[in-house]
Structure 1
Amino acid sequence: MTTTLTAGRTPASTRAMLNKVPEITIWFWIIKILCTTVGESFADWINMTLGVGLENTSLPVADLTVLREITHDSLDKLTAGDQAGATARITDLETTWDDDHPKLEPLDGKAWTFLDGQIDTVLSAMRASHKDKAAEQTALTALLTSLGSS
């Protein structure tokens, strides 16, 4: 049996290094989750404290009402346990948002970008391969709040 050594490493040190891979992976996910949570919380704090949000938007209320109704319907279906219905309704949200894009973005680019990011978060949560009902509800509720849920 022949053992090849590279850059002065012994097979034992290579094995020791590879044994740390699971530990590194675990730490990566812990840091990623903490950063995401803290980042979203900080963004919410800025939105509420500094008034950076959609309160002063010039987007037409009628267009936001349609989006709000679809989002509310999706949340209702999800809460009732109808995952397939909620996901189908989210496709309606995406289609409506994309159809209204040429009209809405020029009216208030900042508000449009903010809502677009929230809709992307909802779409990602609803279409995730591993369903997380809490994440889906959180994303839908945040979007409803931004749309001025009534």
Structure 2
Amino acid sequence: MLKHLGIILVLGILLIACDNLDKPKKPDNLIPKAQMTELLYDVYMVNAAKGVNRKTLELHGIIPQDYILSKHNIDSLQFAESNTYYSFETDVYKSIVDKVKARLEKEKEEYEAIRIEESENKQKQNDSLREKAKKQKDSIKRLINKKGFVGG
């Protein structure tokens, strides 16, 4: 019983603490939802690239955050304010993130299909080369048998 009371007390304190959070006002230079979707897509892509090819980015002097901000012609403050605003508009932010996720999943499927097709083409090419090598070996055997050469 005391344990349940403690849990209820903690949840009550959290609820009161969260209730005191003030929703930020809409920034004057709020990034439109469509642009925010594109921007977050780029953030996810660049973060993935950093995880895979950090050295390549460094060699080319690419600073991911600067690249994204300049690509979308915004500054870090505008992004931070817009991101904060949208994070309090949970339905809107969820729809933005869902669009980004759907785009990433669609592109993943497309790239996976390309990877599979390339793999199949490479397998066909390898099979063709093996068949060609086998035919060449067989023709050499026939030539040897025809000329009466004995291997050994």
TM-score w.r.t. the length of structure 1 is 0.29
Q: Please tell me whether Structure 1 or Structure 2 has the larger radius of gyration of its CA atoms.
A: 2
If each structure's helix is expressed as a fraction of its own residues, which one has the higher value?
2
TM-score w.r.t. the length of structure 2 is 0.29
Larger relative contact order (CA 8 Å, sep ≥ 6): 2
